[in-house]
Amino acid sequence: MADLTVDIVVLGWGKAGKTLAGALGRQGKRVALVERSAEMAGGSCININCVPTKALVHDSGMLMGAIVNANANANAPSEAGDSIRRFASSVARRDTLVEKLRARNRALLDEVDMITLVQGQARFTAPRRIEVSAGHDRLLISAETVVVNTGTVPAMPAVASDAARHGRLHDSTSIQHVDPLPERLVIVGGGYVGLEFAGMFAGFGSGVVLLDRHDGFMRGEDRDVADAVRALLEERGVEVVLGAEVEAVDDTGDRAVVAYGTAGEAAHTRHVEADAVLFATGRRPVTDDLGLDAAGVTTDDRGFIVVDDRLRTSAEGVFAVGDVNGGPQFTYVSLDDYRIVLDQLTGDGSRSTRDRAAVPSTIFLTPPLARVGMNETEARESGRDVLVAVKQVADIAAMPRPKIVGETHGLIKVVVDAATDRILGATLFCVDAQEVINLVALAMRAGVTATELRDGIWTHPSSTEALNEVLGDLRPLTW
């Protein structure tokens, strides 16, 4: 059994961990980065989550455009019947992209002499002492600082785990390589992941049934926004079933069969058949096999590592960053985790999670749905004097870009504090929403007023210039 002593050991190759390892290694610190799978070098974002799924979403959106254009031209052949080939081609492109990014991520750290890359299963044996196992090999690593960055994995409910499997039951990772493209797909779960995969597979040509156990669709959004998203999905062939509680799954026959009950019909069970079933039912932290007890690291009732506002755990010298600490599960939040821990180790230690304001998010539908700050419902409950502007994308004359690219679905909605003219929040359901929302978020953090955004000089034709028109239509909340 070999021994290794370093200044810092990072468990997991996610965004925060790899960035921290690179920064400290280049400063001359001795760093060990441990990752249990070669397939996860670079972290989950580039391997299974953000990048590969958005590549598939992009390609499905391009396919939708091709079908629409073909249908609009009687002399052009429709590509709808070519969906299986197009999906397989997209998956191949996805895999090539992931391989390139994985290799680049490995090279970026391999070239730093002070960084030792270790592959194997890590486990605490004592505070700041890690045993890494790989087959019969063992490596003991001692460090002044340990950063846990092991992330999350899809959480499969018991009803799926207990079912006999013939390859038709999937989580968000395995569904990316389903073969062939399912003619009919059932998705269990109506959150970010379920919605993105519903839109993506519908774009490739699958018939999609979305089973959401909640009675309200997208309960965290204003009703006009949620209704617009649902209308888009249904227009593209997605059947949305609310109040659907999955009772059993049978994957023993020619097709998988999902049995579910709906609210108000407890005595009745409905069945839906599918070529594939995706369980988009949340994610759980990778903490079970880390030996956290040996390190004195506390977890919550869901298994996430408990941290303070500087990402310190209950054990001295041990930090937890990224999804495993129970915070927002976004790569860009993980990057900010890196900044906080780096400040603890090399700065004045003043940076904390309390510094975060106006953090945006995006659901990558086609077009995307992006949010920052309050929505109208939350603004109503805040007691402020509020102004609201909302406009359908198809009706925004100052925003020709959606018409240029042939995607005019959606709406734009902004909530403003009437007393200060500061933006309280915005919802953008439109082409380029994932980009424009960053401008709005920056304006909120910098104190830029709604009037200044309204009178901004933006490039043309762009989606940003929608702000010129939409913010010129602010009205009191009670209108």
Neighbour tally for 118: CB within 10 Å: 19
Q: In this structure, which amino acid lies at residue 192?
A: Y
Question: Residues with Cβ < 8 Å from 353, sequence gap 6 or more?
Answer: 309, 310, 311, 327, 336, 340
- SS3 string of 133-198? EECCEEEEEEEEEEEECCCEEECCCHHHHCCCCCCCEECCCHHHHCCCCCCEEEEECCCHHHHHHH
| CA separation, residue 79 to residues 69, 82, 87 (Å) | 10, 5, 12
Is there a binding annotation on residue 260?
no
Beta bridge partners of 312: 319
Q: Which residues of 73-98 are buried (b: 16+ CB within 10 A; e: fewer)?
A: eeeeeebeeebbebbeebbeebeeeb
Q: Is 460 a catalytic residue?
A: yes
Token look-up 């919605």 returns: 195
Q: Is 54 known to sit in a ligand binding site?
A: yes
Asked if residue 189 belongs to a known ligand binding site, the reply is yes
Catalytic residue among 166, 177, 271, 460: 460
Q: Please, is 398 exposed, middle or buried when counting C-beta atoms within 10 Å of its C-beta (0-12, 13-18, 19+)?
A: middle
Task: Find the largest Cα–Cα distance for the chain.
Answer: 72
Q: Is 94 helix (H, G, I), strand (E, B) or coil?
A: helix
How far is the C-alpha of 388 from the C-alpha of 425, rounded, in Å? 10
Confirm whether residue 323 is marked as ligand binding: yes
Q: Is 451 helix (H, G, I), strand (E, B) or coil?
A: helix
Q: With H, G, I as helix, E, B as strand and everything else as coil, classify residue 390.
A: strand
Any binding-site annotation on 282?
Answer: yes
Residue 15, annotated as binding a ligand: no
C-beta separation of 449 from 422 below 8 A? yes
Among residues 95, 239, 252, 85, which one has the least CA distance to residue 169? 252
Cα–Cα distance, 58 to 364 (Å, whole number): 9
Burial class (CB within 10 angstroms; exposed 0-12, middle 13-18, buried 19+) of 319: buried
Residues ≥6 apart with Cβ < 8 Å to 171: 154, 156, 278, 279
Give catalytic residue positions: 460
Q: Which residues are annotated as a binding site for FAD?
A: 54, 323
Q: Which residues are annotated as a binding site for NAD(+)?
A: 189-196, 282
Q: Which residues are annotated as a binding site?
A: 54, 189-196, 282, 323
